[in-house]
Structure 1
Amino acid sequence: MPIPEFVVALRSKIGHAPLPLTGVIAVVLDERNRVLLVRRSDNHEWALTTGCLEPGEQPADGALREVFEETGVQVTVERLLSAEALDLSVAPNGDQVHWLAIGLRCRLVDGDARVNDDESVEVGWFDPHAMPPLPPHQERCLTLALTDDADPWIAAPTAGHPNRPTESAR
């Protein structure tokens, strides 16, 4: 998978140290509410379409770009699903990333889904009730995407956070 040039430039300065990056998770639905998944080339697991935002790129633009790059389909963004800081991840080469993941519900506009780059080995539409396992944060995005009146999900403030009100102050 190609590493964005801005990440390569940052890594030349900070090495493998934790790097905060923003990514999008696109839950793509078709007219039958089937879910578009990609089988990743790095671990061969099924996943929603995800990707790193470029500096200054709007999340909706990043979702449109990532979905097209990975699957060859054009989508429209319907709504925000979630904003979540994920646990520290470590790439096989030792690079550490703190991802801020923004989930968006997208709807198919045009195109036939196919493997469109080297990030995946398979692409397919799945009935929401017959899905392969997904990581918990992607599962949460999927659940929210299939619930029309769901508010966007954000994690509750962490217990013990210095600015979190105590029970007595609520």
Structure 2
Amino acid sequence: MPVSPYIASLRAHVGHALLLIPAVTAVIRDGERFLLARHADSGQWGLVGGSIEPGEHPADALVREVHEEIGTGIRVLGIVGVYGGEELTVEYPNGDRVAYVTTAYSCTLTGAPRPDLDEILEVAWFSRDEAVALDLQPYVERVLADA
């Protein structure tokens, strides 16, 4: 998965040290079902989202990330909540450490999702009960409970 020029410039100075990064998460619903994505880096199921670039409005970052990862648009309905902590601290295979603080937004799709096969391997719809039986990224169950 590509690293943004901004993150790359920070990494040039701090190496693999922990970075606190603002992010966005799409909680995409269709009635009682949620669209989850299986992430290539971990193989776990989670929500679609990513980092906010400098100067970018969070909702614009969300629209960009959804389009990049699953090739479709969304309609942003509102904020579900803001999340951080150990569940959102990640160490990537190259040793980079990141602590995300993510704003989760409730959304609906405006087209058919198509995983990019780079960051996202597959997408599928799950009820909340079905989702908790999956190998989920650590923060997802908390976000779905709030949604």
Bin the TM-score by the shorter chain.
0.7 to 0.9
Task: Note if contact 1:54-1:62 (Cα within 8 Å) is conserved in structure 2.
Answer: yes
Change (3 A) 1:118 1:135: closer
Higher strand share: 2
CA distance in 2, matches of 1:113, 1:49: 11
Code of the residue aligned with 1:75 in structure 2: it is I
TM-score, with normalisation over the residues of structure 2?
A: 0.87
Where structure 1 has 5 or more consecutive residues not aligned to the other structure, the ranges are 146-170
In structure 1, the residue matched to 2:50 is: 51
In structure 1, the residue matched to 2:119 is: 119
Larger RCO (alpha carbons 8 Å, 6+ apart): 2
Where structure 2 has 5 or more consecutive residues not aligned to the other structure, the ranges are none
TM-score, with normalisation over the residues of structure 1?
A: 0.77
Percent of aligned positions with the same letter in both sequences? Answer: 38
In structure 1, the residue matched to 2:94 is: 93
> Cα deviation per residue 1:29-59 (whole Å; 9 max; x = unaligned)?
12x3421111111121111112111112122
- List, as ranges, runs of 4+ consecutive aligned residues in structure 1 with deviation greater than 3 Å: none
Change (3 A) 1:85 1:128: closer
In structure 1, the residue matched to 2:143 is: 141
RMSD: 1.6
Change (3 A) 1:135 1:116: closer
State the secondary structure of the residue aligned to 1:2. Answer: coil
Change (3 A) 1:89 1:43: closer
In structure 1, the residue matched to 2:129 is: 129
In structure 2, the residue matched to 1:27 is: 27
Residue 76 of structure 1, CA deviation: 1.2
Task: Note if contact 1:86-1:101 (Cα within 8 Å) is conserved in structure 2.
Answer: no
CA distance in 2, matches of 1:90, 1:143: 25
Task: Note if contact 1:34-1:127 (Cα within 8 Å) is conserved in structure 2.
Answer: yes
Greater Rg by CA: 1
CA distance in 2, matches of 1:133, 1:85: 20
In structure 2, the residue matched to 1:155 is: none
